[in-house]
Amino acid sequence: MTLIDLANPTKFLSLTARMLPWLAGATAILLLVGFYQAAMAPDDYQQGATVKIMFVHVPNAWLAMFVWGVMTLAALGTLVWRHPLADVAAKAAAPIGAAFTFLALVTGSLWGRPMWGTYWEWDARLTSVLILFLMYLGLMALWRAVDDPSRAARAAAILTLVGALNLPIIKFSVDWWNTLHQPASVMRIGGPSLDRAFLIPLLVMAIGFTLLFVTLHLAAMRNEILRRRVRSLQMMQASQQAA
Amino acid sequence: MTALAALIRRDIKIALRVGGGALIGVLFFLTVTVLMPFAIGPDLPLLTRLGPAILWLGALLASLLTLDRLFTADHEDGSLDLIVMGRTPLELACAAKALAHWLAAGLPLIVATPVLGLMLNLDATATSAVALTLLAGTPALTFTGMIGAALAVTLHRGGLLLAVLVLPLSIPVLIFGVAASQAAITGPLAFGTPFSILCALSLVSFVVGPVAAAASLRHGLD
Amino acid sequence: MSLGPYASFIVTSYALVAAIVVILIIWIAIDYRRQRERLRELEASGVTRRSGRTATEI
């Protein structure tokens, strides 16, 4: 089965139906292992046990940006190549990405209170992630505002591409500005500066959450394809009854 | 006269008419700025400290209000279709419309700033700082706002969605505009740093805005 | 396992993450059931797809 077959929604649906149970199982295993490792991780000499919040905050923050990246690729698929499943992928990803961004903001806030003494701070990293969250919400509103799915897809694709400009700002905000949020300790030139006892659970959780996104995304794409099938059948039914 | 110059002249003329949007923008700016002292209270030192922020917020909301008119009037009478189908590149036509909009709706805001600065107990330095940052920043607001206006033009209840789409993009402009004003008034921070970033935002929006707006119009108007 | 003086923050974070993830899963599952239900209804009312396949076929 070649890559071009994936452009066929029906083939995609049958492939998804076969893959989803395995993906869900792998996700569950990785998240459980990660959770166990997070629980067993040692206390940080400075933060104590609150370092454990990092194991849920950081994967969600990474995913918040990663999902917008996925939507950007889908947007290019819609505008440049007119790939039939690109629209579906973009629409399905938005609510999931918004949820991860929300979790990143909330867990970060709950981590900030013990660590910095404040629930919120208007520094560059937090502000740009908050803007990202608002953009997710705006994107979801745009999807639902236009009735025709393909027109909605093209409008959403343009907004996604414009919003992608925010991603490098978020990533490098802690380097460009003197922020309260700490600088990068994993994804940096020179390799991670995090101790292995923290790095391993973090990576396991990160991969687990990424698999969670892939599982949820494929399931949501399946729902979106079915929703479009319902819509076209309803229109066909309406025209049959009118005739 | 080239097509673009004609477009700019036409847009400015329409905007300057009563109900055309330019004067309404200034009126809204005035209203917001006048309401703030009522809400905050007559504490003059506090108003002085908040002055730049109030002026910037008023200018942002006023330009948001008038952005709706950028494309909808043309869409309703069909001239937007003619512009999209015309020979001039759509990106340049969008840039021309944004320029006209800024001249008609953005410049009056800047002209009104000294008067409003008096009401907020700002001295000459503060007012001129705010006016300068508005001069550098309101083009960014117009050009990035144009993206939202283009996306929302074909929607019936597009106005509110426009605001939701445009606001996240306008926040950086607001942040640096107020930062630059504060730097000029009090700051240990040099005025030049946030001001150059503000100018950079405007310059980037001159490119990104028309390109994205033109793409939206092309894809949205079938 | 002692979670230190800020235990409530840690527990709340993990609980919120679990809650939102569960909500996402449930929402997607309910949406799936709803779409399948609608397709079944359409099938029953006699509409046919252009390809001739049944409406509910995955």
Model confidence pLDDT, tens digit, residues A130-172: 999 999 999 998 898 888 888 889 989 999 999 998 888 888 7
By the CB < 8 Å criterion, does A229 face chain C?
yes
The length of chain B, given as a count of residues:
222
Domain-embedded: residue A8: no
Q: Which of A14, A48, A234 sits opposite C4 (nearest CB)?
A: A48
Q: How far is CA A36 from CA A39, A52, C3, in A?
A: 5, 11, 14
CB-CB contact of A225 with A12 (8 Å): yes
The length of chain A, given as a count of residues:
243
Q: Which of A41-45, A53-57, B17-21, C4-8 has the lowest mean pLDDT?
A: B17-21
- For A197, other C-beta atoms within 10 Å of its C-beta total 13
Position A190 scores a pLDDT of 66
Q: Which amino acid is at A6?
A: L
Domain-embedded: residue A11: no
Q: Where are the domains of chain B?
A: 3-220
CB contact under 8 A, A39 and C1: yes
Average pLDDT value over all residues in chain A: 88
Which DSSP category does B156 fall into?
T
Model confidence pLDDT, tens digit, residues C6-58: 889 999 999 999 999 999 999 999 999 999 999 999 888 877 777 777 777 76
CB contact under 8 A, C20 and A103: yes
Distance CA B149, CA A206 (A): 38
Distance CA B182, CA B140 (A): 19
Q: Is the confidence at residue A1, as pLDDT, over 60?
A: no
Q: How many CA atoms lie within 13 A of A27 on its CB side?
A: 17
Q: How many CA atoms lie within 13 A of B203 on its CB side?
A: 6
Q: Where are the domains of chain C?
A: 1-47
Q: Which of C6, C36, C47 sits opposite A226 (nearest CB)?
A: C36
Q: Which amino acid is at B154?
A: T
Looking at this predicted complex, what is its ipTM? 0.89
- Cα dihedral A84, A87, A93, A95 in deg (nearest 10): -150
Which DSSP category does A180 fall into?
S
Q: Which amino acid is at B211?
A: V
Model confidence pLDDT, tens digit, residues B122-157: 888 889 889 999 999 999 999 999 998 988 887 766
Higher-pLDDT residue of A217 and B25 is: A217
Strand partners, A48: A44
Closest residue by Cα to residue C36 from C10, C52, C57: C57
CB-CB contact of B92 with B4 (8 Å): yes
Residue A71 is inside which H or E element, if any? helix A54-76
Strand partners, A44: A48
Backbone angles phi, psi at A44, to 5 degrees: -75, 145
Q: Which of C5, C10, C31 sits opposite A223 (nearest CB)?
A: C31
One digit per residue, the tens of pLDDT, for chain B of length 222 reads: 688 899 899 888 888 876 667 788 888 999 988 888 888 887 888 888 888 999 999 999 998 888 888 888 888 888 888 888 888 899 999 999 999 999 988 899 999 999 888 888 888 888 988 999 999 999 999 999 999 898 888 776 667 788 888 888 888 899 899 989 988 887 677 888 889 999 999 999 999 999 999 998 988 765
Distance CA B8, CA A231 (A): 43
Secondary structure in 3-state letters for B43-63: CHHHHHHHHHHHHHHHHHHHH
Position A3 scores a pLDDT of 58
Domain-embedded: residue A7: no
Position A225 scores a pLDDT of 92
Distance CA A156, CA A140 (A): 9
**B21 dihedral zone (left: phi>0; alpha: psi -120 to 50; beta):** left
Distance CA C3, CA C31 (A): 38
CB-CB contact of B192 with B174 (8 Å): no
pTM, entire model: 0.85
Distance from CA of C28 to the nearest CA of A (A): 6
CB contact under 8 A, A145 and B161: yes
Alpha helices in B68-157 (DSSP H): 69-77, 79-85, 90-101, 107-119, 124-152
What is the count of residue pairs from A and C with beta carbons less than 8 Å apart? 93
The range of the structural domain enclosing residue A213 comes to 21-41+55-228
Model confidence pLDDT, tens digit, residues A182-200: 777 777 666 777 788 888 9
* Partners of residue A46 in chain C, C-beta under 8 Å: none
Q: Which of C5, C16, C42 sits opposite A230 (nearest CB)?
A: C42
Domain-embedded: residue A215: yes
List of long-range contacts for A206-211, beta carbons under 8 Å, 24+ apart: A206/A58, A206/A59, A206/A62, A207/A30, A208/A27, A208/A30, A208/A31, A208/A33, A208/A34, A208/A59, A209/A31, A209/A59, A209/A60, A209/A62, A209/A63, A209/A100, A210/A59, A210/A63, A210/A66, A211/A23, A211/A26, A211/A27, A211/A30
B92, burial (CB in 10 Å: exposed 0-12, middle 13-18, buried 19+) = middle
Backbone angles phi, psi at B106, to 5 degrees: -85, -45
CB contact under 8 A, A79 and B215: yes
